[in-house]
Structure 1
Amino acid sequence: MTESQPDIKTICFERNLAHPPSKVWRALTVPAFLEEWLMKANFRLQHGHRFNFQADWGHVDCEILEFETERRLSYTWGDGTLETVVTWTLTPAKNGTLLTMEQSGFKKDQPRYYGGALQGWPRFFDQLETALARGD
């Protein structure tokens, strides 16, 4: 975890994945693949596209800010109160891909959101590895 400003917190997780960046990219951008490990989404890879992730507990509203195919994907992540940015970075590695996820913008008066992200993202990463291992 890193903190960029005294009142704003950022979390960062990294995982070495034994899969090429092209496959990891599909897991981050293909709706059916996203649903396997993260949540159901009406995702479309297009600058400015607004979409949401849906789960039994509710939904998260997002908007694609930027992407560079198989390298970087950034989108907003919020619910009206929470306003953060999730950025995925894919770095080719000797045996696959180093995947980095950074979620920035947690305000100091949002400990529930911050704590939820700290607990939730490692589970999502585990589910991602399982989905990648199953194949295409």
Structure 2
Amino acid sequence: MSSAAAETLSVVVEREIAFPPEKIWRALTQPHLIEAWLMKNDFQPLLGHSFNLSADWGVLDCQVLAIEPNRTLSYTWNGLGLESVVTWTLTPTSTGTQLRMEQVGFRPDQQMAYRGAIAGWPRFFSSLEQVVARAD
């Protein structure tokens, strides 16, 4: 492991959600559902697909790095000087799904982005849970 990688910070949010992985997967991969909990996008669940996430504060350039339906999804999350990777992991449990999100790649000088992610992801998770609960 290079020293540069060792110096970066990551944000992890984990939560058990009382729905099966298939249902959460739809919220992670269907553009209209992603927009409902995260932001506007032109996502497609295809390996190598480049897409944007856009909010009033700016646009993120993203690319699908790994995709295994109902299990794992990973994409770059680049913008505003940040070059990071977001990885979702879905693990079935007896009562639903253990959903884990890890965002890696915050440099030590990117405290604002890092703190923003620490504050933002739990809110995104709450919105995601509401979208999953509503989705058919």
Would you call these one fold, judging by a TM-score over 0.5? yes
- Cα deviation, 1:93-120, whole Å, max 9, x if unaligned, reads 1111000000001000100110000000
Which consecutive unaligned segments of at least 5 residues does structure 1 have? Answer: none
How high is the sequence identity, in percent, across the aligned residues?
53
Distance in 2, matches of 1:69 and 1:16, equals 18
Give 1:120's aligned amino acid: G
C-alpha distance in structure 2 between counterparts of 1:122 and 1:112, whole Å: 16
CA distance in 2, matches of 1:95, 1:75: 28
Structure 1: distance between partners of 2:80 and 2:109: 15
- Could you list the structure 1 runs, at least 4 aligned residues long, displaced by more than 6 angstroms after superposition: none
**What is the TM-score normalised by the length of structure 1?**
0.94
- 1:75 equivalent to 2:75? Answer yes
RMSD over aligned Cα, in angstroms? 1.0
1:20 corresponding residue in structure 2: 20
| Structure 2 residue 117 is the aligned partner of structure 1 residue 117 | yes
Q: What residue number does 1:10 align with?
A: 10
TM-score by length of 2: 0.94
Q: How many residues align?
A: 132
- Measured in 1, the distance between the counterparts of 2:32 and 2:91 equals 23
Instruction: Kindly provide the CA deviation profile for residues 35-59 of structure 1, in whole angstroms up to 9, marking residues without a partner as x.
Output: 1111111001111110011111111
